[in-house]
Structure 1
Amino acid sequence: MPREVPLLRNEVIFVVGAIIFSYCAFLYNPHGTLKVPTQLNRTYDYIVVGAGTAGCVLASRLSEHNSKSVLILESGDEEQKLYYSHIPASAGRLMHSKLAWRQRSVVQKHCCDASVDQQVVYVRGNVLGGGGVLDLMVYDRGHPEDYEQWAAMDNVGWSYEDVARYFVKAESFDIKTPADSDSYGQKGLIHVSEGQPTLIGKAILEAAKSLGYKEPQDPRGGNGVSGFRFPRHMIHNGVRQSTVKTYLRPVLKRKNLHVVAETHVTKIDFDKKRDRDGRLRTTGVTFQWKNGRIYHALAAREVILAAGALSTPYILMQSGLGEKAHLQEQNIEVKEDLPVLGQNLIDHPTTVLFYSVENLDYRNHASHGFFDWLKNLYFYYVHGSGPLTTSPILLSGFFRSGFDPDSERPDLQLLVTADTSIVDPKIIQNLNDEVAEEMEFVGNSRNILAIIVSQLHAKSTGSVKIKHQQQHNEHDHHQKWTSEVDPNFYDDDNDVKVQARGLRIAINIMESEPMKKFNPKLLEKPMTGCKQGLKFMTDQYLECIARKRSFPSRHQSGTCRMGVDAQISVVDPKLRVHGISGLRIADASVFPSDVSANSNMPTIMMAEKAADLMKETDQ
């Protein structure tokens, strides 16, 4: 018994120390906190709407010359007010935090019977840095075929050869790979590092190889290889590489850059008269600050929307741009008829399988246990080491379903994680109580793996629309309207078959010979709505659970698609809104078709190229 006293004392000292170090970390910031301008300019050269992944890049690049003034507006608060926002392993915690905004879709017609009210939930970043503060930090450019498809749609300047230099400009590869060459950036602001191998990860990798899948070596995914690899992450020295961290915060002291958080842009402003070419001329923006006051800022050169694929079309509709009939239904004065604005919503529908495994050598220490969390905070802040320095993603894989034999690019992505909080059945998947109870094991064990299956090129597309709210605070203008998001998952029956093929690939790998030493057990009970009339775990059963249990991946794009024809696109290849002068869009909403990757890095590429396009116009 006497031996236990010093042990207890040491534990108390250890915990107190961890709390102190956590508090110090909360206060520490190498670039200082955001200082609200004491007085805003009446006019700026550029106004950027949205300080998410793209907006932070734009604000940094456009303010590089001190003669150009830039105002960037963001609805969310500062990310660093949550002390763990930069810790890679805390992705799950962040998705459940005040930095995340949960938006429900409209009722789904073709899927999601297992979701509450048959609606899916979009977990969005309401914070400086946007979704890049919450995401899983997986680095991928997409497949070259993605961008060749853009160019084939008459989008001159957007082939893979055209965009590759902007990936290179943005990234700093900390990895030596067999394919290493000038194709990978070494001097960019986004550092890319390799995930730490684990025993379970190595076993799954070997299991995939035993079934004929290979380990892709090229991060560009250009060789058509299907298989798992240890992921590349946007992490540097144990710190998340969001664009607010890498692009915006280092330049906050620029006198020509004003950053205003906790503000809502209510509309884009236009001149009453059109220019000599018959185009509307953008004059600035109207926004409501957190103090409730309405402000008007003028743009001498351009307004750039970078609010994301869900918010950018909504702001444009508020401003009178969009499909004429839809705006008239909502009693919005039509300034410019853009028939497809808000259409073509692209996403990667996602379904999860859970496995229990023995001898799991990885646990997500950010999600299990208060004392685990404190202990690892100590190692993180004092030694710069420990499990908090890594992403929750253990393996990343791209696979071909075989349903499109003419294409080399993958149509399925599989991610492996031991952090079930990032796919929580209720908070993230929005599953109803009955189905969630069938998955009550999730979160109650430290020996569970989640296999996340996402479809990369679904044929079904959705929409974003605007709707007038009957009851709203008349003094709070941004509450007058709301957006209605409809992903329209599985409108095309082929999408369900592709998704089921992805689930089957995951099952085959997990149940192969190399995995037997981990004794994996699929934690899948006969599901309500699928168990009647369908044999358990057949292909038809997998189609059923995919249709009932899918949810968004947070890779939305396409709602302001790029093209040359104003009848089927919203912006031209220089990202200028059709029929409008002085207004561009520079975020994932302009993607004319989806990319074979997590969308964060392609969005950074898009913003880098957009900044150059604006600088060229300025010359």
Structure 2
Amino acid sequence: MADYDYIIIGAGSAGCVLAERLSASGRYKVLVLEAGGRGRSPWIVLPLGYGKTYFDPAVNWKYETEAEETLAGRKGYWPRGKVVGGSGAINALVYARGLPRDFDDWEAAGAAGWNWDTVRGTYEVMETQVSPSGARHGSGPLHVQDVSDQIHPSTRHFFAAAKELGLPSTDSINGAVNEGAAAYQINTSRGRRMHSARAFLAPALKRPNVTLMTGALVERIVFEGRRATAVKLRHRGRLVNLQAGREIILSAGAVTSPRILQLSGIGPPEMLKRMGITTLLDAPHVGGNLQDNLGINYYFRATEPTLNNVLRPFHGKVRAAIQYALTRRGPLSLSVNQCGGYFRSSVDLNQPDQQLYFNPVTYTTTLVGKRNVVQPDPFPGFIIGFQPSRPTSRGRIDISANDPNAPPLIRPNSLSNKEDCAQVVAGAQLCQTLMNTVGLDRLVERAIDPDLRCMTPDGILADFRERGGTVFHPIGTCRMGENAASSVVCPKLKVHGISGLRVVDASVFPNITSSNTNAPTMMLAHRTADLILEDAS
């Protein structure tokens, strides 16, 4: 007899949504497995606590990529959530659905039924939009907060610069008009992080048919023939086998989901043989198609106070803490990314190709004891930065050993083609043009080297190779598509050639969305739950 109907591997952004949706009827027993802890740190709850969790091994896997010659021989730092809520518990909170063309491109790539007209309805069911006045639109469990009334006054210079150049502006990058300068919406509720663990899993755990097991490291999935039937895991020092009566759902994220498949014998046969793993299914695309947004920041000393003046002094921290305690408002209730938006680097383009960030703060990472600490600088400053929205380079993530504890082998293959290099130059030149407006020039005391304003195209690319890096949006390593010849899962997210097993997380995105990936990951899980329940009925 099965222990559970559904076993979900990973209590991250997708797994928490699945747990709520699959358990709602009360008909099915659902188990959620999480390798990390429960996530009770106050720095998770506090939106600006992102700076504290960024290097915290208690809640963060702190992965590293292989060194990349295209990025000056550097290894990349990849923080990923090691906690209930996953990376959505430690991210910078920007809530971005993505552009309509992103999902139409999914369908064109073989993900039938995942076009914009379909997924938009899922977003609308999932969300409650909250205006600055507190007015609500929608009735979904996930609160999306408009904080445009709270962003720092210095951000007005960014909006003035965009207007000076004739660039568009919008009230919401998630609205009907989503292109242009905007204050970023964030997934918070009453000043507290509203990640998927709070919005979805917490209500689900009140039901008797839902179980959460933390500190559970999955070693592999167990099969009877080509059917997934059980999960082998290590919990509190013991090996445990748990049976699933209906399905096992892999929601461990774009880094770990392909690794669990490979450890279970699903992957490229030659690589599995080298690792001493018997191939159950020849699946060369497992671990491939890795995509990620790369970005860079440019730092400037400011001519007027910014968040540095608020958050660097001890008395400023105390004042912000009191404001937050009394009102659930103020800088501690916000993301470090306060405004930005989707932009076209050329008027000749028919879609935005860049996402910009304008942050009224600069910060330095210092080593304190054994930990890196992010501190605002002791002078007023601001950041302008960008990321090309749709990179075309493709990398891989694989196991490095036949051991679930072994670190992943992450090879992003960054800037591996001329198109991506051209997009880097185009994005920087857009920021350069903004910085040379009257609107932003009046905010600049001086640049903190290097000075974007005087860089040549060659200098821009060389600097990006030296300083640019991930903005933490890895996707695609178990991509969905029409068949096993081109993908890992079908549009219902079932693994090709296997029964009783789905992958439901950002690893199945065929193409990266044009901005932050947390919102589409939750949307994907919400809609897939409907598909799972349809199959069960």
User: Normalised by the shorter chain, which TM-score bucket?
Assistant: over 0.9
Indicate if the aligned counterparts of 2:361 and 2:380 stay in contact, CA closer than 8 A: no
Amino acid in the other structure paired with 1:146: D
**Partner SS state of residue 276, structure 2:** coil
Structure 2 match to 1:414: 356
Indicate if the aligned counterparts of 2:309 and 2:378 stay in contact, CA closer than 8 A: no
**Partner SS state of residue 471, structure 2:** coil
Indicate if the aligned counterparts of 2:178 and 2:342 stay in contact, CA closer than 8 A: no
TM-score, length of structure 1 as denominator length: 0.81
Return the offset for 1:612: 0.4
**Partner SS state of residue 55, structure 1:** helix
Return the offset for 1:369: 4.4
Among candidates 50, 73, 90, match of residue 91 of structure 1: 50
Amino acid in the other structure paired with 1:386: G
Indicate if the aligned counterparts of 1:109 and 1:488 stay in contact, CA closer than 8 A: no
Indicate if the aligned counterparts of 1:510 and 1:520 stay in contact, CA closer than 8 A: no
Structure 2 match to 1:7: none
Return the offset for 1:359: 1.0
Structure 2 match to 1:69: 29
Among candidates 244, 267, 279, match of residue 220 of structure 2: 267
Aligned equivalents of 1:509, 1:592: Cα separation in 2:
33
Among candidates 331, 337, 361, match of residue 387 of structure 1: 331
Among candidates 509, 519, 533, match of residue 601 of structure 1: 519
Among candidates 372, 395, 418, match of residue 493 of structure 1: 418
Aligned equivalents of 1:491, 1:198: Cα separation in 2:
38
Among candidates 407, 420, 444, match of residue 377 of structure 2: 444
Return the offset for 1:189: 1.1
Structure 2 match to 1:515: 440
**Partner SS state of residue 303, structure 1:** strand
Among candidates 194, 211, 225, match of residue 241 of structure 1: 194
Instruction: Flag the 1:133–1:385 CA change in 2: closer, same or farther, 3 A.
Output: same
Amino acid in the other structure paired with 2:460: L
Structure label with greater radius of gyration:
1
Amino acid in the other structure paired with 2:191: G
* 1:377 and 2:321 correspond: yes
Q: Deviations over 1:87-118 (max 9, x none)?
A: 112221221333222111012132244xxxx2
RMSD: 2.6
Among candidates 465, 484, 489, match of residue 409 of structure 2: 484
Indicate if the aligned counterparts of 2:172 and 2:185 stay in contact, CA closer than 8 A: no
Return the offset for 1:548: 2.1
Indicate if the aligned counterparts of 2:110 and 2:481 stay in contact, CA closer than 8 A: yes
Among candidates 50, 53, 65, match of residue 13 of structure 2: 53
Return the offset for 1:211: 1.1
Indicate if the aligned counterparts of 2:337 and 2:358 stay in contact, CA closer than 8 A: yes
Aligned equivalents of 1:595, 1:335: Cα separation in 2:
32
Structure 1 match to 2:85: 129
**Partner SS state of residue 124, structure 1:** coil
Return the offset for 1:520: 4.3
Aligned equivalents of 1:124, 1:54: Cα separation in 2:
14
Alignment of 1:138-149 (within 5 A): 138-149=94-105
Structure 1 match to 2:297: 352
Q: Which range moved further: 65-74 or 374-383?
A: 374-383
TM-score, length of structure 2 as denominator length: 0.93
Return the offset for 1:230: 1.2
Return the offset for 1:246: 1.1
Aligned equivalents of 1:461, 1:126: Cα separation in 2:
25
**Partner SS state of residue 357, structure 2:** strand
Amino acid in the other structure paired with 2:443: F
Instruction: Flag the 1:212–1:526 CA change in 2: closer, same or farther, 3 A.
Output: closer
Aligned equivalents of 1:107, 1:154: Cα separation in 2:
33
Indicate if the aligned counterparts of 1:63 and 1:256 stay in contact, CA closer than 8 A: yes
Structure 1 match to 2:465: 547
Aligned equivalents of 2:298, 2:169: Cα separation in 1:
22
Return the offset for 1:176: 8.5
* 1:585 and 2:529 correspond: no
* 1:574 and 2:492 correspond: yes
Indicate if the aligned counterparts of 1:310 and 1:464 stay in contact, CA closer than 8 A: yes
**Partner SS state of residue 110, structure 1:** helix
Instruction: Flag the 1:453–1:496 CA change in 2: closer, same or farther, 3 A.
Output: same
**Partner SS state of residue 167, structure 1:** helix
Indicate if the aligned counterparts of 2:2 and 2:245 stay in contact, CA closer than 8 A: no
Aligned equivalents of 2:264, 2:449: Cα separation in 1:
48
Indicate if the aligned counterparts of 2:154 and 2:360 stay in contact, CA closer than 8 A: no
Give the strand-richer structure, 1 or 2. Answer: 2
Amino acid in the other structure paired with 1:189: P
Give aligned pairs, total.
Answer: 530
Indicate if the aligned counterparts of 2:33 and 2:212 stay in contact, CA closer than 8 A: yes
Return the offset for 1:140: 1.4
Return the offset for 1:401: 2.7
Indicate if the aligned counterparts of 1:91 and 1:136 stay in contact, CA closer than 8 A: yes
Return the offset for 1:198: 3.0
Structure 1 match to 2:142: 190
Q: Which range moved further: 195-204 or 311-320?
A: 195-204
Return the offset for 1:526: 8.1
Indicate if the aligned counterparts of 1:112 and 1:120 stay in contact, CA closer than 8 A: no
**Partner SS state of residue 100, structure 1:** coil
**Partner SS state of residue 244, structure 2:** strand
Instruction: Flag the 1:597–1:235 CA change in 2: closer, same or farther, 3 A.
Output: same
Alignment of 1:95-494 (within 5 A): 95-97=54-56, 98-113=58-73, 118-175=74-131, 186-195=138-147, 196-217=150-171, 219-220=173-174, 225=179, 227-271=180-224, 273=225, 280-289=226-235, 291-363=236-308, 368-402=312-346, 405=348, 408-421=350-363, 424=365, 443-468=376-401, 478-479=404-405, 481-494=406-419
Instruction: Flag the 1:483–1:84 CA change in 2: closer, same or farther, 3 A.
Output: closer
Return the offset for 1:388: 1.3
Instruction: Flag the 1:409–1:378 CA change in 2: closer, same or farther, 3 A.
Output: same
Return the offset for 1:154: 3.1
Return the offset for 1:149: 1.0
Instruction: Flag the 1:194–1:221 CA change in 2: closer, same or farther, 3 A.
Output: closer
Instruction: Flag the 1:174–1:581 CA change in 2: closer, same or farther, 3 A.
Output: same
Among candidates 29, 39, 45, match of residue 79 of structure 1: 39
Return the offset for 1:577: 0.3
Aligned equivalents of 1:607, 1:243: Cα separation in 2:
11
Indicate if the aligned counterparts of 1:360 and 1:518 stay in contact, CA closer than 8 A: no
Q: Deviations over 1:232-266 (max 9, x none)?
A: 11122111110111111123221111101111001
Instruction: Flag the 1:446–1:613 CA change in 2: closer, same or farther, 3 A.
Output: farther
Structure 1: unaligned runs, 5 residues or longer: 1-40, 274-279, 432-440, 470-476, 528-534
Identity %: 30
Return the offset for 1:376: 2.7
Indicate if the aligned counterparts of 1:305 and 1:585 stay in contact, CA closer than 8 A: yes
Amino acid in the other structure paired with 1:219: I
Aligned equivalents of 2:176, 2:276: Cα separation in 1:
48
Aligned equivalents of 1:266, 1:559: Cα separation in 2:
19
